[in-house]
Structure 1
């Protein structure tokens, strides 16, 4: 990790032409990278992560991985916009991706299809998020890790999709420190 890579994560990425965020009850976007509904006809929980190295991405992923272990009848898919090598290194540092499928989307095409574009200054650097990052580190030992690729300005989000490919829960993060409730997502997807 170099200073240049860390500094690059603070640069605004190119703007994305995004689709609207899928509303509850709408058909989920489906592509060759992420086919929904799944051929195995299981519900799917998706999380689109902030950059690898972000403490909120780490907390989100740890919660996501725990939910995946507790619910083997549900597909869990995490989407990273960091490069494959940075994603792999980050996953190794936080204990792996047991029971979670990882999609690397460093062009942010899936993010755009799910309505997740570039966030605002306030989304990332508001005082509540800054307090939350300190609190997460102090209480749970989850601090910033080196950022080798990805953007701090990319909006995250999480969704639950039922067996038929209909969005049942979720949306875009309203602030950088949003940690989704994946048990709630599973309940919504399995209804």
Structure 2
């Protein structure tokens, strides 16, 4: 009983921690279409194929789970595109979460608990309205009812981190830059992402 109570108390503490506003960081501007994509020691891009980079909300967020599941399926259908998912939860928590939501398949998972990579790509901290607006809360409910993807315990990370999706061509230039307008954002991989990379390949603006 004591062990169970201690475990519950620890889980509650982690949940409360996820609601705390994290330290402010210097956040770069969001890359524009045609800009060179930010690269770093943590996140490098291949030179032989285009890349999709997805920045997740915290592990446990149902929209992060939905996004990751779609990205893994996309990665197997499009081996010509390198897929990266960035998490700001800890390495151990991210590893456990990836297994829980179905495995990484052909996705490279980058762990960025300091949120340096997020900041370099223009993704900072969201507002309360962004994270808790009625539409996002209803979308979370529908995602659970319709697809069985529910909010789960937050092991580490913050609920206030912005998410986003970027498509980068083989030369390292940004072809799609989407910053989440609300917490329920899920990228359209088969539509917008593919169209952005197809337009680039055809030499269209």
Structure number with higher helix proportion:
2
Residue 184 of structure 2 corresponds to residue 172 of structure 1: no
Counterpart in the other structure of 1:18: 27
2:153 to 146, 149, 164: 146
2-structure distance, mates of 1:66, 1:54: 19
Residue 86 of structure 2 corresponds to residue 79 of structure 1: yes
Cα deviation for residue 31 of structure 1 reads: 1.0
2-structure distance, mates of 1:84, 1:186: 30
1:15-94 → structure 2 map (5 Å cutoff): 15-36=24-45, 38-39=46-47, 41-94=48-101
Judge conservation of contact 1:76–1:100 (CA < 8 Å) in 2. yes
* Structure with more contact order per residue of length (Cα contacts < 8 Å, sep ≥ 6): 1
1-structure distance, mates of 2:189, 2:53: 10
Any gaps of 5 or more consecutive residues in structure 1?
A: none
Judge conservation of contact 1:170–1:185 (CA < 8 Å) in 2. no
1-structure distance, mates of 2:51, 2:82: 5
Select the structure of larger CA radius of gyration. Answer: 2
2-structure distance, mates of 1:92, 1:163: 29
Any gaps of 5 or more consecutive residues in structure 2?
A: 1-9
2-structure distance, mates of 1:16, 1:143: 30
2-structure distance, mates of 1:98, 1:51: 20
Cα deviation for residue 187 of structure 1 reads: 3.1
Cα RMSD after superposing both structures:
1.0
Instruction: Spell out structure 1 runs of 4+ moving beyond 4 A.
Output: none
